[in-house]
Amino acid sequence: MAPSRPLSYYLEEETGRRDMYWNYQPSVPWVPTREEVIKILLSLLQIPRGYVVYDIGCGDGRVAIALAQKFPDIHVKCIEARKDLVEKARKAIESKGLSNRVEVIEGDFFKVDISDADLIYMYLLTSVNQKLRPKLENELKQGAIIVSLDFPIPGWNPVAVIELARSWQRAFYIYVKGLSDSSAAAELRNKLLENVLHVVKIKKHELRL
Ligand SMILES: C[S@@+](CC[C@H](N)C(=O)[O-])C[C@H]1O[C@@H](n2cnc3c(N)ncnc32)[C@H](O)[C@@H]1O
């Protein structure tokens, strides 16, 4: 009879298997934002000095790099789970001399503290946004802006949906913590709205609130 193995052995084996699956199968595959869509994103934003901007699930870092190049007074944090993409992003950031302002955090964005975010860019999936919602509600400060490419956050109201050309990657959903989840006190709402209108060039007819 084979000697019995300690419980920790099975736990390690199980954890190892989960890590293995995790490496192959993050919750969203890597599909980069297209260059022309990044250009539109840059033209839509006027990010104030000192803002902390995240790309959660940043792939090879192309959006983070473009944002840092356009706005020299912001700090960008790029969270990515895939090691190969983390390395690619770090190399690109270094080669462009942006290492002092663009940080790559290797890890699971569900587990990384994002409470200092002023603006978040994400290109994920509706199902993932749904799972992220409690984290966004618990961690983000009032007024934090979220720009989600193509996929809404279920249960939140976008302040605007900016339609792009009719192809894949066709819309930016713009959310504001406090307004979109109705958590802001009435007296704060106008201030948050004014701020997002300053940071994102939203046309009047695009406003949904
Ligand atoms: C659709 S791609 C978008 C990449 C980049 N934001 C862009 O727009 O070019 C989504 C990225 O999220 C990463 N990702 C998926 N789940 C993740 C998780 N839980 N934590 C960190 N990164 C994750 C994937 O590896 C992939 O690179």
Task: Show me where the domains of the chain are located.
Answer: 30-206
Measured distance CA(101)–CA(76) in Å, rounded: 6
- 160-163 and 171-176: which strand pairing? antiparallel
Answer for the pair 117, 146: CB distance below 8 angstroms, yes or no.
no
Six-digit token pair at 124? 């994920």
Q: What is the pLDDT of residue 70?
A: 98
Q: Cα-Cα-Cα-Cα dihedral of 126, 83, 76, 112, to 10°?
A: 60
**Residue 146 phi, psi (nearest 5):** -120, 130
Distance of CA 179 to the CA centre of its chain: 18
Q: Residue 20: CB within 6 Å of ligand 1?
A: no
What would the pLDDT profile of 75-113 be if each residue is shown by its tens digit? 999 999 999 999 999 999 999 999 999 999 999 999 999
Q: What is the pLDDT of residue 76?
A: 98
Give the DSSP H or E segment for 65: helix 62-70
Q: Residue 101: CB within 6 Å of ligand 1?
A: no
Six-digit token pair at 126? 């509706």
Output the residue whose Cα is nearest ligand 1's atom 26.
30
Rg over alpha carbons for the chain, rounded to the nearest Å, is 19
Six-digit token pair at 117? 């975010």
3-class SS at 36? helix
Measured distance CA(64)–CA(71) in Å, rounded: 11
Instruction: Report CA(19)–ligand 1 centroid distance (Å).
Output: 17
Output the residue whose Cα is nearest ligand 1's atom 27.
59
Weakly modelled stretches of the chain, pLDDT under 70: 1-26
Q: Residue 82: CB within 6 Å of ligand 1?
A: yes
Six-digit token pair at 159? 């302040």
Measured distance CA(193)–CA(164) in Å, rounded: 22
CATH code of 30-206, in short, is 3.40.50.150
Answer for the pair 92, 172: CB distance below 8 angstroms, yes or no.
no
Output the residue whose Cα is nearest ligand 1's atom 15.
28
Q: How far apart are the first and last CA of the chain?
A: 69
Q: What is the position in ligand 1's atom list of the atom closest to the CA of 32?
A: 9
**Residue 165 phi, psi (nearest 5):** -60, 155
pTM reported for the whole predicted model: 0.89
Residues sharing a CB contact under 8 Å with residue 107, sequence separation 6 or more, in sequence order: 79, 81
Q: What is the pLDDT of residue 25?
A: 47
Six-digit token pair at 43? 């033209």
